[in-house]
Structure formats: structure tokens, C-alpha cells
Amino acid sequence: MNWTAERDGQLKELHAKRVSPAFIASWMRWPPSAVRARLIELGLAKPMSPKAASITAMAKASSLAAKSATAKASVPLRAIETLRDAFDEEEEIKTKPGCPRGHLLSEAKIAALYRTAGGTYR
């Protein structure tokens, strides 16, 4: 894609309004990869991390394979899910005895905190 000063101005203006690169690409009917690459060249966006790039590549390969009925998926969906889970810092919600799931305080202590703040828990 040929980037002119006018197109660069439009791109900078839309990026300044905090519009996502995907929306800019669909709105201006420019290729999404060209928009992202140009934002990186202009110093307005950071390049993707290697892990994010691999997830994007796997997802793209999976979606292309799904679109084509004759093509076989080269990357199983489980591999993509595994990489997505790698971003989670905690594997499960922490639990403590006598506490609701995901809470680190018991119901009684939570109710006491609400009472001291002047509210009701239930």
C-alpha cells in the first residue's frame, strides 16, 4: 500500500482519537496488516510481543483452515487455548476454608467490614 502524507494524516488523526487499528482498517478500507505496520513505522504503536504474535498467527491459521472446507487445520484449537491460558497468572481461583469461592475473607468478616463502612452486606 502506498502511504501518502494525506493518508498518514488521516491515520494519525484517527489514532489520536484512540480508535483501534482494526476499526481504522475497516472504516478506511485499508488492509489491517498495512495499518498496523504503518502505525509501528510512525512510532504510534508498539510491535507485538513474540507470544502475542504466535497466538495471532495460530488463530489466523485456524480461521483460514476453518473457512476452507478442504484444508486441514495445521494448528489444533487446543494449542491456541493452551497459549491463551499461559497469559493467566493464576490457574484457579484461590479458596480458603469457610470463605465463598474467590473470596479471601469469610462471610462474617465481609459483613463486619460492610457494617463498619455503614452499609449492609446482604
Distance CA 106, CA 103 (A): 7
Q: 32-60: buried (b, 16+ CB within 10 Å) or exposed (e) per residue?
A: eebbbbbbeeeeeeeeeeeeeeebeebee
Give pLDDT tens digits for 78-109.
555 555 544 444 555 666 667 776 677 788 88
pTM here is 0.43
What's the grid cell of residue 119? 452499609
Average pLDDT over residues 7-18: 91
- Assign 77 a pLDDT band (cuts: 50, 70, 90): low
Q: Confidence band (pLDDT; 50, 70, 90) for 70?
A: very low
Can you give the pLDDT at residue 104? 73
